[in-house]
Amino acid sequence: MSMKISVVAGSHRGESESARVASYVETVLRGLGVESTYLLDLAGNPLPLWDGGVWSGDAKWGRLWGPIEAELDDSDGLVVVSPEWSGMVPAGLKNFFLLCGSRVLAHKPALIVSVSAGLGGSYPVAELRMSSYKNTRVCYVPDHVIVRNVGGMLKGEKPASEEDASLRARIDYSCRVLLEYARAMGAIRASGRIDLKTYPYGM
Ligand SMILES: Cc1cc2nc3c(=O)[nH]c(=O)nc-3n(C[C@H](O)[C@H](O)[C@H](O)COP(=O)(O)O)c2cc1C
């Protein structure tokens, strides 16, 4: 089965650590045989905040969001890389989920990878698991990755420390698990059971 995975780098900062981690994950996915990947970097806020034109078919949104939506639509799974900012995920990442609506991510598996310069990183995991899936119907896989002390991690070919080596092994494992979910969940979407017309929004 040919596989496509999208990776979202959720930091607004230029040259963010989240973007670096997202690019590392993309390389891992390619190494595991994923034929196609799509990396969306939210650096510099390429997407304005949601407005009513999204629902009324404003041409601006067709231009800005249309190409991204097509890439996501075509994907079998998602990796969400989020920094911890003030104990939260960045606003631009929440905006991304608003724009996704209820179709493009529905019943697709997603791996959460959170990023902290220090020992943080658990709040984005909790926030994403609590509040980004209701309407998008994205399905977070049970395992997630927290990249702590990101400045010393995932740089260069060889691990710089035991922690770096262990993190790399965990990312590899988590990506492999994500791909198994992606293979399996295609059957759910193809089953005919999903009815987003009657139930566009979760409760
Ligand atoms: C506005 C802002 C708030 C931050 N708040 C936190 C925080 O609450 N916890 C934490 O561990 N790191 C925090 N950081 C530091 C990030 O962990 C650090 O910038 C890291 O590189 C990940 O963010 P990045 O992907 O934007 O580079 C914050 C950084 C910024 C820019």
Residue 74: inside a domain? yes
Domain assignment present for 102: yes
pLDDT tens for 29-39 read: 999 999 999 99
CA distance readout (Å), 18 to 7, 76, 89: 11, 22, 11
Range of 8's domain?
4-190
Decide: 37 in ligand 1 pocket, CB within 6 A. Answer: no
Number of domains the chain contains: 1
Note the pLDDT tens digit of each residue in 131-161. Answer: 999 999 999 999 999 999 999 999 999 999 9
CA of 153 to the centre of ligand 1 (A): 15
Q: Does the pLDDT at position 77 exceed 80?
A: yes
For residue 195, being part of any structural domain is answered with no
> What pLDDT score does 1 carry?
73
Distance CA 25, CA 175 (A): 8
Inside any domain, residue 131: yes
The torsion angle over the Cα atoms of residues 53, 56, 60 and 61, rounded to 10 degrees, is: 80
Distance 83 CA to ligand 1 centre (A): 6
Q: How far is the C-alpha of 38 from the C-alpha of 36, rounded, in Å?
A: 7
d(CA 112, CA 128): 8
- Domain-embedded: residue 40: yes
Q: Ligand 1: does its nearest atom lie under 6 Å from the Cβ of 146?
A: no
Position 201 in a domain? no
The DSSP code for 88 is B
Does residue 199 belong to any structural domain of this protein? no
For 109-137, what is each residue's pLDDT tens digit? 999 999 999 999 999 999 999 999 999 99
Q: Which pLDDT score is estimated for 157?
A: 94
Residue whose CA is closest, atom 18 of ligand 1?
117
Evaluate whether residue 167 is within a structural domain: yes
Q: What is the mean pLDDT of residues 172-188?
A: 98
Residues 144 and 146: their CA atoms lie apart, in Å, by 7
Distance 50 CA to ligand 1 centre (A): 24
To the nearest whole percent, how much of the chain has pLDDT over 70? 100
For residue 128, the domain's CATH number is 3.40.50.360
